[in-house]
A and B are shown apart, each in its own frame.
Chain A
Amino acid sequence: MRRIVHCSNRVPDWLIRAAGFEPEMYQPGRTIPDGPVPDIEGVCPFARMFVNDTCRRDDTDGIVFTTECDQMRRSAEFAGSIKPVFLMNVPATVTEHGSELYADEVERLAGFLVNELGGTMPAPETLRSVIERRPDETGRAAAEGAGRNKVMLLGGHVCVPVGVFRTLLDDYALDVVAETLSQSGRGLDACATTGVDSAALVRSAAKMQFQDGCDIHQRPNNKFHSVVRSMVDELNPDGVVLLRQTWCDRWYLEMLRFRETLGISLLDVELNGPSIDARAVCRVQAFAESLAG
């Protein structure tokens, strides 16, 4: 199967699948390979890893970037000379007008997949079946053991696989009860989409996806804060662990806000590359001990 890689839950996987490609939400590897994005101070290590890794992969037919984050938007320029690249405008403001722009962009992505990469746009019935509801991937887990504390994982893209970080938390008797990281995705309800032809279906599904979306990049991003707040109220974790990558201004400033508004212990873990350094490990350990005490 031909593959399209991206790293945003605003990229419509259903469209990529419908056009005959396998969508892949990029998951970080163990190293940052050399590639078109140079190692310059200030460059987001995740953006560098994403571009350099996907550009060298033989199984990738194209890369979809979004404009949600400026570092990613700029990174797209480096990848364009190596792989087919699509830069998708995702509006930050959630308005009817913004939703129309998003739908236009999804249509444009369809054109890219079909005209530039040789994909196909299926009949409405097939398309409708592809636009299926996927489970909510905010990853709520009930795991809880005696003498262990519950934490919620929050944050943006990092170069470390989430599984590795979860293992670290587990080592220090911290159970993850919810995860709202940037890798999470949301599904769509096929029944609610309308339209008799494929183009109308695509627009309808796109608008739903846009209106349904919720992340820190929206302006204002109160919806995201409300979602996190309600998860905290519902799941009652003992603390929040916020993961962010060095040079990520957006998550850094949100971290400051969450620290003020959530009202529970928050551990800010800044990662600078593809490994969890000793400082981060020590901080997690001390956080676990503080919660246990």
Chain B
Amino acid sequence: MKRLQTCGFSEFDSQVRAGMPGYVRPLSESIESGDGRLSSIGFDPSDASFRLWGFLRSEEARLSEAVKRGKKLVGTMKDLGTVPVLAYSLPDLTAFYPDGAWWLPCMNVGAKALKAASALGIGENICPVRAMIGAFEMRENFPLPDRLICSVGATCDDFSALAQFLAGRGHDIVWWEIPHRRQPGANEEVVRLSGGTYAPVSQVAFVREELRRVVRVLEDLAGMPLSGEMMRTGIRKTNAVRKVLGKIRETVFCAGSQPVGSVELLIAEMLAIHFCSDPDESMEVLAGLLGQVEQRVAAGEGFSAEDAVKVFWVNPPADFGVMNILDKLNCRLCGTDFMFQHALDQIAEEEDPLTALAMCALADPMAGSIADRADRIRREAGRFGAEAIVVSRIPGASHCAFEGRIIADTLTEHLDIPVLQLEIQSSGCSMDQVVGGRMEALCETVRSLRR
């Protein structure tokens, strides 16, 4: 088995090739323009990875290009993976997630967005998604959308409050509701959702009606009706992306050595929700990554040694660099739940499209109980043979304080593997000292348990 090493940005930049899409620019350009955090990250040295990073860093340019081509922009907020399917089913709409500003601090541009939010009084007591407010305020990082659509109901307090704050500053928002996914009553008709959860049929019907309201808004914006067939096409396109992502995850989690950098896997999974700003190019990027992963598995190459500690990672870390620690400590990912597991599941193509999307929205782990989420983590951690769970806490997020304990209790009871909770600051200051030290202790624990 050949063990691969991550590389610094200079070496990474040397891979720029002729023939790569125009948006794939050297990282040094981003670093010079303020994304200083990239200079401290270790990268997976491959063309596929380079293209992935290029795609991640170029959303603003691609959205601006879409506007130039006459497309209307839909900013979809909070619902992870539902409204964009409807939006890009209409030819003249392009959807994106302003919530994606969450990731800006990971590259340092966010420091500017965070400062702009802080200037309005929104500081570190609020989840890093507050960078979205800064981005709107500065009119940077994405063009202002023509329509903002935000899901509410069973959502985290911080996002709901931030979205309302945004509305209070004059941004018109269309709100739609995803209720808390409850346990069906004894005599209620039940539907099975993706991920092994259940919901009462009445809740699916409710969300379906809410989506009908959203469809009307999108039709008004696009100036044309959205037919069932158009929605089906959008769903098939989404499923194709999810299928490739599913293959990447399955291959990575089952490989002898982790065949992709941990940061790059995180970014690839992010495309499950962020691909909507350019579905066709996303597909190309992910297909390239899958090819790379399969090729490395066949060649016996990867970033982890055979005795690597198998980690299941819960929640997106507010700092890309923390994923590098996994590679450095000879850990490997054997399962992830970055809060949008439902956006990796296939949408039911045989269902009425709006019903299928309502089921998708209700399957959101954040819409249901923590126990449901813990149960899925338990099943997947068991399936991929994870030896430890890391619950990465997002500073200031309303759900994080609770879920760590319930997830830890559930997994300890059923799997008997160690669970570590980490708070990852978006400032990155605690990285090596605190987070690295705690991760190191987790690895030692796992290795001693093996004996």
Contact residues of A with B, CB < 8 Å?
A: 38, 40-43, 67, 69-71, 73-75, 77-78, 87, 89, 91-93, 95, 97-98, 101, 104, 108, 111, 219-221, 247-250, 252-254, 256-257, 259, 261
Docked-complex contact A77 and B369, CB < 8 angstroms = yes
Checking B154, B167, B397, B405 against A67 with a beta-carbon cut-off of 8 angstroms, the contacting residue is B154
Chain B minimum-CB-distance residue to A108: B185
Instruction: Give chain B nearest CB distance to A23 CB in angstroms.
Output: 22
Checking A89, A97, A248, A256 against B180 with a beta-carbon cut-off of 8 angstroms, the contacting residue is A89
Checking A40, A70, A95, A98 against B405 with a beta-carbon cut-off of 8 angstroms, the contacting residue is A40
Chain B neighbourhood of A38, CB < 8 A: 405
Docked-complex contact B153 and A67, CB < 8 angstroms = yes
CA distance A221 to B152 in the complex (A): 12
CA distance A220 to B173 in the complex (A): 8
Docked-complex contact B175 and A70, CB < 8 angstroms = no
Q: Can you name 23 A-B pairs with beta carbons within 8 Å?
A: A40-B401, A42-B396, A69-B157, A70-B154, A70-B156, A70-B399, A74-B403, A77-B370, A89-B180, A91-B179, A93-B176, A101-B177, A101-B206, A104-B202, A111-B185, A219-B150, A219-B163, A220-B175, A249-B126, A249-B161, A253-B126, A253-B164, A256-B120
Chain B neighbourhood of A91, CB < 8 A: 153, 177, 179
Docked-complex contact A98 and B177, CB < 8 angstroms = yes
Instruction: Give chain A nearest CB distance to B229 CB in angstroms.
Output: 26
CA distance A256 to B400 in the complex (A): 24
Chain B minimum-CB-distance residue to A91: B177
Q: A97-B209, A249-B158 are in contact. Are A257 and B179 (CB under 8 A)?
A: no
Chain A neighbourhood of B158, CB < 8 A: 249
Docked-complex contact A92 and B177, CB < 8 angstroms = yes
CA distance A261 to B404 in the complex (A): 38
CA distance A43 to B177 in the complex (A): 25
CA distance A111 to B162 in the complex (A): 36
CA distance A89 to B168 in the complex (A): 25
What number of A-B contacts does a CB cutoff of 8 Å give?
124
Chain B minimum-CB-distance residue to A71: B398
> Which residues of B from 364 to 407 have beta carbons under 8 Å from A?
369-371, 393, 396-406
Chain B neighbourhood of A108, CB < 8 A: 185
Chain A neighbourhood of B179, CB < 8 A: 67, 89, 91, 101
- Chain B 291-330, CB-CB to A under 8 Å as 1, else 0, gives 0000000000000000000000000000000000000000
* B19 contacts A by Cβ under 8 Å: no
The 8 A-B residue pairs whose C-beta atoms are closest, nearest first, are A42-B401, A74-B402, A253-B161, A92-B152, A70-B157, A219-B175, A70-B398, A43-B401
* B122 contacts A by Cβ under 8 Å: yes
Contact residues of B with A, CB < 8 Å?
A: 120-122, 125-127, 150, 152-158, 160-165, 167-168, 173, 175-177, 179-180, 182, 185, 202, 206, 209-210, 213, 369-371, 393, 396-406
CA distance A43 to B179 in the complex (A): 22
Instruction: Give chain A nearest CB distance to B216 CB in angstroms.
Output: 13
Instruction: Give chain B nearest CB distance to A115 CB in angstroms.
Output: 9
CA distance A253 to B126 in the complex (A): 9
Docked-complex contact A77 and B371, CB < 8 angstroms = yes
Chain B neighbourhood of A247, CB < 8 A: 125, 398, 401
Known contacts A40-B405, A43-B402, A98-B177, then 8 further A-B pairs from the complex at CB < 8 Å, ordered by chain A residue: A38-B405, A40-B402, A40-B404, A42-B393, A89-B153, A91-B179, A93-B176, A219-B163
Q: A77-B402, A253-B165, A257-B165 are in contact. Are A92 and B370 (CB under 8 A)?
A: no
CA distance A52 to B404 in the complex (A): 19
Chain A minimum-CB-distance residue to B371: A77
Chain B neighbourhood of A41, CB < 8 A: 401
Docked-complex contact B175 and A253, CB < 8 angstroms = no
Instruction: Give chain B nearest CB distance to A99 CB in angstroms.
Output: 12
Chain A neighbourhood of B399, CB < 8 A: 70, 74
Docked-complex contact B168 and A257, CB < 8 angstroms = yes
CA distance A256 to B167 in the complex (A): 13
